[in-house]
Structure 1
Amino acid sequence: MKRLLIFLFVSCSCFSQNQVVEIKLVNPNIGTEAFQIINESNDQGLNQIFQTHNVIRYEKRYNHPLFIDKYYEAECQNCNTNQLYTDLLNYSSVVEKARITSYGSAYNDALYTKLQSAIIGNPIGVNNGVIVTNDSGLNQIFQNFNVNYFNALNANNYYYIVCNCDNIALKSALDSYSSVINLTEFIYASYWLKNNQFQKSKTLIYPNPFLTNFNIQSEDIISNYSLIDISGKQLIATNSKNEIDKLASQLNSGIYFLNLNFENGQTGNFKLIKE
C-alpha cells in the first residue's frame, strides 16, 4: 500500500475544522495506530476508550521535529469531545498528555525559527535540560520558556525549536528579539493519506533551498501549480511554471509549500526554502 504525505494548514478554508483530541504517547510503541484499521490502536485500554466515545478516526500526526513517533489524534462522531479528552488524559500509563484542537492544527510546543546571523545564536550545550547558545539574550529567552531542543534544518540559519511551554508566548518573545531572530513560524501537523491505487510520482525539485527560481523534474505532466506560505495562505494557483517563477523570484526568505496537480489525477506536495 502506497502513501502520500499531505501538509495541512488550519487557516485554509478547504480543511475540516472538526474538533479532535491530540494525544502524545508515553511510549512510541504502545498506543500506535492499528494496521489498516482506521479507529483502533495496538493497546486494548485505548481501544476501549475509543469504542466508548465512538472514535471514527485515529491516526498519526507527522511533522513534529522531535517527537516524531509519539503524536496522534482521535476524532469521534456524535460524542462529547471534552469527555473523550478527559478519559484519554486519565489513561496516563499510555497517554502522556492530550489537548482538544482541530484537524491539521499547529503543534503547541514547537516552532521554526531563522537566525539573523550564521554565527550568533548557535547552540553550544545544555544546562539543566535547557539549550545554551552563544548569545546571552537568546539564552535568557530559552531559560524563561524551558527550550529543550534547538536543532538546525538543512538550510541557512533555520532551526527547529521545542519547548515545555506556551509556544505562542515563546514566539512573541523571539519575534521581539529581532537583533538575533529573523523570523519564527508555527509547525503544522501533516498526515499520510492512504490510497491503494496511488503510484508515487518521481518528481525532483532543485535547487532547494533556492535563491531566485527552482527547477521541477518529473516523469508526469503537471497540470497545475499552487504555492502556499507557512501560515497556510495560498499565494498563487496557476497552470504556468513561468508564473510560479515570477512569484518565486520576488518571495521573501522563508519556508513555502508547493502543491502540484498531475494530468494523471495525482498530486504532490513539497516543502521549499527560499534563501
Structure 2
Amino acid sequence: MWLKNRKAGKSSSSAKINVSPSLVVYFIAWTVEITISMPFFLYFIVTWTSESSTRDGPTLFWLSIWSLAFQPFVQITVLMVTLERISCIHWPAYFKNHRLKYIFTFVGIIFGLALVCLTFIWTLMHELPIPSLIDCNSYACIYRAGAMEVSSWIRQILMFMNSIYGIYFFALLQHRWKACVTSKLHNHLLNVMAGIVLAAEFFLNIFPMLINKILNRFTDIHLTVIMGPIFNTLLVALDVFVASVIYTLWMRKRLTRK
C-alpha cells in the first residue's frame, strides 16, 4: 500500500505542465525578430557620429527590411496566444489534450508568414531604387511613405484585433477567475502568462503608437524621429525582457514539476 501511494505520488509530482504551442511560437518569434534586428542596431552604433546622421542607403535598407517585414508575425503570435487561452477557458474539457490547441498555432503561422511576404514584396516594389545616402536615425525616415503604407496598415489592424480580443480575454478571465485558479496549475499559469503577454503588447506597442499618432496628428511631433532608435529600441528591449521573464517562469515550473 505504501509503495503504491509512493508510486502515485511520484507520478503526480513528475507530471509536466502542458505546453502551449502558441506561447512557444511567441518565444521563437521574438528570438528571430531580435536576431535579425541586431545587425541594424550594431550598424547604427558603429557608424554613429554627433556631426551627421547620414549613412549608406543600401546598407541601411537591407539591414532593416528583414526586421520590418517580420514585425507582423510577432503581433500574430500575440493574437494566437490570446485566442488559444480564450478557447481553453470556454471549452476546457474539449481543449485538454486535443488537437484544437494546435489549430490557432498552425493557422497563425501560415497567416503570419503570408503577411511577412506581403510586407517584404510591397516594400521592395515601392522603395527601389534605393538612394545612395539616407539621412535618418529610425525606421520612420528610412523608407518612403508609400513603402510603409502596407506595413502600417497591417500593424494597425493587428493592434486593433489584439486590443479587442485582449480586453475580452481579461473580462473573461475576471469573470471566471475562481474556476481558472481552482483548475489545474498549468492552465492557470498559462492564463497568467497570456495576460502578461497582452499587457506588454498594450503598454509597449499599442499605447506608444497611439500616442505617437495623436501627437503627429495634432502637433506634427513624431517621437520616432525626435528620439530616433532610443524610442523603438527601449520599447523592444522591454518587450523582450517581459518575454524572457515569462519563459523563465514557465521553464522553472516545468523543471520543478519533473
TM normalised by structure 2 equals: 0.26
Greater C-alpha radius of gyration:
2
More contact order relative to length (CA 8 Å, sep ≥ 6): 2
Which is helix-richer, 1 or 2? Answer: 2
TM normalised by structure 1 equals: 0.25
Which is strand-richer, 1 or 2? Answer: 1
